[in-house]
Structure 1
Amino acid sequence: MTNSYYAPKGGHPGQDQLLTDRAVFTEAYAVIPRGTMRDIVTSFLPFWDDTRAWVLARPLSGFAETFSQYIMEVQPGGGSDRPETDPDAEAVLFVVEGTAALKVNGTSHELTPGGYAYLPPAAEWTLHNKGDVPLRFHWIRKAYQAVEGLDAPDVLILNENDIAPSPMPGTDGKWATTRFVDPADMRHDMHVTIVTFEPGAVIPFLETHVMEHGLYVLEGKAAYRLNSDWVEVEAGDFMWLRAFCPQACYAGGPGRFRYLLYKDVNRHMPLR
């Protein structure tokens, strides 16, 4: 089955549009619907040419604590020779439209839709759009938590379409996770995966755990339980879940429901 990846296009609603929407911001979770991603809410970043970004999450009191997440839109000919200004930042890039010309530590790579790159802290990288259509990709950033005795992770260049999803036990493959990183590799302090639900599949209990989550819906629609509320979400929506926010899911169809998932992992809880 061909994978689908929703990406925002911006634009601006007319004066005849209703003001009501599904946007929700609480102490436990947030829902940022795709309809909020308009031209007037984009941001611009130093040393990026012909590029704008929708910021989905950032460290903020009462909001995301461990990560930031952008949807980057790079016009043909645009890009950056100095994309990251924080030497402690690690990154995951995930391409949803167009082609990225990525160079990491002197080696060139081409990322097409479904393309994934893990960039460890202090990696030397550049990124450009050498194609003739806009490039859109997710950029997830985290301050790497080094541990004495563990090396920093290696650069990873992969594509979702080359990786077999891992089914959750007892689900007959209706709930599966595409993993780009070995869960047993303790060098990594964050995982970015793709979760897929076939029509009718569920998260059958209220997951309540320490990992903070960012979920961007790539495809389909579902009813998602966030804390004490059920919300409807669709392709292009973003959800943030605070640590320990209860969550569950019912993917009623008619097609698959898939999202790009961030979570922090593999580290002790800070005590100060």
Structure 2
Amino acid sequence: MADQPRYYAPHGGLPTQTDMLTDRAIVTEAYTVIPRGVLRDIVTSVFPGWTGTRAWILNRPVPGGATTFAQSIVEVAPGGGAERPEPQPEVEGFVFVLEGELTVTVEGGAHTLAPGGFVYAPAGASWSVTNTGAEPVRFQWIRKRYEPLDGHPPRVVVGDERDIEPSPMPDTAGRWRTTRLLDPEDLAFDMHVNVVTFEPGAIIPFAETHVMEHGLYMLEGQAVYHLNGDWVEVQAGDYLSLRAFCPQACYAGGPSDFRYLLYKDVNRQITL
């Protein structure tokens, strides 16, 4: 396993009274930008059934916005957690650790996850989370109402992104590569979660315009995104929510690799 990664995670706090009010937050009908500077103490949420926990909700289904998923950064103090994190039995969950260590028990199996570790819990699974360490743990939590498919039952997946060989994108000499945390060939999954890596200067060479919604949390580095005709700078700790068919491309600015955690809905026919 490679060295432990250093992903960005918010720690809260408040700006001083002398700081400027302006920031890079943007909300449009095509996309939303939540910069890391707005993830402060006074915008956290409390989840029922959790102890020692607060969360920054990054996306929820709203009119005119991305509608297939919810996404949060969850911070759990030592000794905190939840015996039943998911209140809706029809909802699947994906947890990806950013900072600290999290113990996840799913279907009777206990797993301690360090940064880069992840768990996929199918809808209806029995699972719990606990911080048994001495420091707060911070992690991404993606939730989606599962769309069952006959003959393709979902299963628990536990892993670490560092143990998965990334796939180079075609004609990029490996400078743009994707680490697929869920098997892209398995139709049991109605969402994919990937870690995408761009080396400095690498680009998405056209404006992707597709049916999948996206949630992108910037893990490391910085880049410029082209979203629905607008140029938007992003850095580690920023978040993008992209509606279906939002044109999107990016340019990794360096000096280090640009990496993000990517959600998208997949593998199902359009419900009419």
Q: TM-score, normalised to structure 1's length?
A: 0.98
> How many angstroms apart in 1 are the aligned matches of 2:78 and 2:110?
18
- Name the structure 2 match of 1:12: 14
User: Given the alignment of the two structures, is residue 104 of structure 1 paired with residue 106 of structure 2, yes or no?
Assistant: yes
Structure 1 residues 100-109 or 130-139, which shifts more?
100-109
- Which aligned pairs between 1:101-250 and structure 2 lie closer than 5 A? 101-151=103-153, 153-250=154-251
Deviation at 1:4, TM superposition (A): 2.5
> How many angstroms apart in 1 are the aligned matches of 2:219 and 2:150?
37
- Name the structure 1 match of 2:82: 80
Unaligned runs of 5+ in 2: none
Any idea what SS the aligned residue of 1:131 has? coil
Q: Which amino acid aligns with 1:9?
A: H
Q: Percent identity?
A: 61
Q: Is the 8 A contact 2:66 2:244 kept in 1?
A: no
Q: Which amino acid aligns with 1:68?
A: A
Any idea what SS the aligned residue of 1:205 has? coil
Q: Is the 8 A contact 2:55 2:74 kept in 1?
A: yes
Deviation at 1:164, TM superposition (A): 1.2
Q: Which amino acid aligns with 2:218?
A: V
Q: Is the 8 A contact 2:176 2:198 kept in 1?
A: yes
Deviations 1:59-117 (A, max 9, x none): 11111200000100000010011211100010100001111111111111111100011
Deviation at 1:150, TM superposition (A): 2.4
Any idea what SS the aligned residue of 1:40 has? helix
> How many angstroms apart in 1 are the aligned matches of 2:224 and 2:231?
6
Unaligned runs of 5+ in 1: none
Deviations 1:105-156 (A, max 9, x none): 11111111000111000100010000000000000000000123322x1100
> How many angstroms apart in 2 are the aligned matches of 1:106 and 1:252?
44
> How many angstroms apart in 1 are the aligned matches of 2:238 and 2:181?
22
- Name the structure 1 match of 2:27: 25
Deviations 1:238-262 (A, max 9, x none): 0011000000000021110000000
> How many angstroms apart in 2 are the aligned matches of 1:241 and 1:180?
20
Cα RMSD over matched residues? Answer: 0.8
> How many angstroms apart in 2 are the aligned matches of 1:82 and 1:251?
39
Any idea what SS the aligned residue of 1:65 has? coil
> How many angstroms apart in 2 are the aligned matches of 1:235 and 1:182?
26
Runs (4 or more) in structure 1 with deviation over 3 Å come to none
- Name the structure 1 match of 2:42: 40
> How many angstroms apart in 2 are the aligned matches of 1:87 and 1:25?
31
Deviations 1:188-223 (A, max 9, x none): 000010000000100000000000000000000000
Deviation at 1:268, TM superposition (A): 0.3
